[in-house]
Structure 1
Amino acid sequence: MTMEVRAPSQSVVVSIPILHYDDTESAKASRRQLKEAIYTTLFNMNVPAVCAINQATLALYAARRTSRIVVNIGFQVTSVVPILHGKVMRKVGVEVVGLGALKITGFLKDLMQQNNISFESLYTVRTLKENLCYVAYDYEAELLKDTRASSDAAGEGQFTLSRERFQTGEILFQPRMAGVIQY
């Protein structure tokens, strides 16, 4: 069974990622150009109404909030976006760091290799990251604890991680640990 949506009867909300944290004229022009291209395409499809909202604001609205700091960990970058009453506070400081899920998984892979933990695929490392890793409330205190935990990885058996579990997430707060330098 196929379903068709009649474009002329449906309004569209488009989410737009925050691509840059600066508010230079070229950044503003780039955002405007992107929105105009989206609007033009959708209006050519006879969509009656279009609203473009950045992803951080949509995430906040989904949580039924209008003011908070939204942290969005994407595939290649992490953005930290302060929002007050539904408006992105660019002047306060939106931060976009070149540290996303791919880099975090790569960092865990490096830690595992340093500790002679063998694996066959990056998928296994990602699975372990998702099942075992966490962000420590107090990194220094966590170093003193026994944090060993185990998890099965499909087709590769059981893996046990210890400090890697919280060191992986710590690069969000100390990017230099993973070789990411902030300016």
Structure 2
Amino acid sequence: MTPMRTAARTVAATAAALLLPSLLTGCVVDGGWLGGPAAPTTSTEAPATTATAASTPAPEPPATWPVNVPVQPGDCDPQAPDALLVTFVVTAQDPSAPIEISYPGFTPSVSGEPRTITTTGPVVTILGNDCGPGVAAEPWTFTATGEVGYALSCAVFFNGFPLRADSDYVEGPARAASVDCTGRPGM
């Protein structure tokens, strides 16, 4: 094959690669950089009608995740500038399965007061600020249990550092999955 034929095939292949997407989408590629004038643009699409737009139902908005457990009255403010932030996260495969979560509450007089809530996932976050009277003498209890499909997990962070993580995987029919992220800084 001669160099002239090879160059001609290369130019033809390049032109085809540039023009093929425009032919498929109804748009025209500006070929000015190839040395020729840009091709005129034409629209082959039908204008949208209000009847078509009105007949298509709007998609459901996604659920708001994560589920953020609110701070209880009297709790330390987790958004305080000097907060010792404790973050507890539970994830579950089934967004509708109830999950029982035990977690510590932090008040100025108590570090790690036990609390229990029942909520659904798939992601649950609890923020706390350990502004209590000093280092907790006992570990903080962080557990989650639920009749979930497939998996349940938990993770605890203290001031951004991972403290503990656990997961439980359910294979087959739903059964009670349980995770335990109990711990405290320094353990």
TM-score w.r.t. structure 2 length? 0.20
The structure with the largest strand share of the pair is 2
If each structure's helix is expressed as a fraction of its own residues, which one has the higher value? 1
